Amino acid sequence: MPELVASDDRAEVHAMVVGRLATNVYVLRCRRTGEAVLVDAGDRPELLLEQSRSLGVRSVLQTHGHHDHIGAVAAMRAAGYPVAVGAGDASMLPGYDRILDDGEVVEVGELRVRTLTTPGHTPGSLCFEVQGAGLLLAGDTLFPGGPGATGGDPDRFATIIDHIENKLFTLDPDTKVLPGHGLPTTIGAERPHLGAWVARGW
């Protein structure tokens, strides 16, 4: 069953952990309208469809196209939920309905979700900032303790660091970061360690 991992008078986020890599799937829900979006259709389509119907999900946002985050995409689309993804990862999905650009805003009821392109982990990685709610759905771009994996490629590592520093770390330090695996953190908790990540090179 989903766990409520964030809530205020406007927004709530429910989390489910699916698949052998323990991928986090989130449902972001507008409390005032009941409309919701599912972030990363990772696996266990029967569970995700059940909870989508229960929580008012209208569509799916993909942070990236790695296999552990897209296992239920086909089932969600077949059930009538449109799927949005970054251009660089679109070819990794079994199908999609919308390409999201940097800075594009997705409305979820009365919530406004801003798309941040953050390549490095994958070419089309995205993060989603819930404006005014102090929430960032970070996919595999930012975790407690460092950036997502970049395969030992120095160019990819430089790219992900650049986007973390200049896009994510400009957010309010109290912003709660909900990563694609593991536990939440905050921008303020991670930002002081940027130099150490650069020095270690991963």
Domains belonging to the chain, first-starting first, are 3-200 (3.60.15.10)
Its pTM stands at: 0.97
Structure tokens at 171: 């957010």
Residue 85: per-residue pLDDT: 98
**Percent of the chain having pLDDT more than 90?**
99
Q: pLDDT class for 1, splitting at 50, 70, 90?
A: confident
Query: 3-class DSSP state for residue 13?
Result: strand
**Short-list 105, 139, 95, 137, CA closest to 120:** 139
Structure tokens at 120: 């490095």
Query: 3-class DSSP state for residue 40?
Result: coil
End-to-end CA distance of the chain: 34
Given a cut of 90, whether residue 202 has pLDDT beyond it is no
Residue 80: per-residue pLDDT: 98
Please state the rounded mean pLDDT for residues 147-168: 97
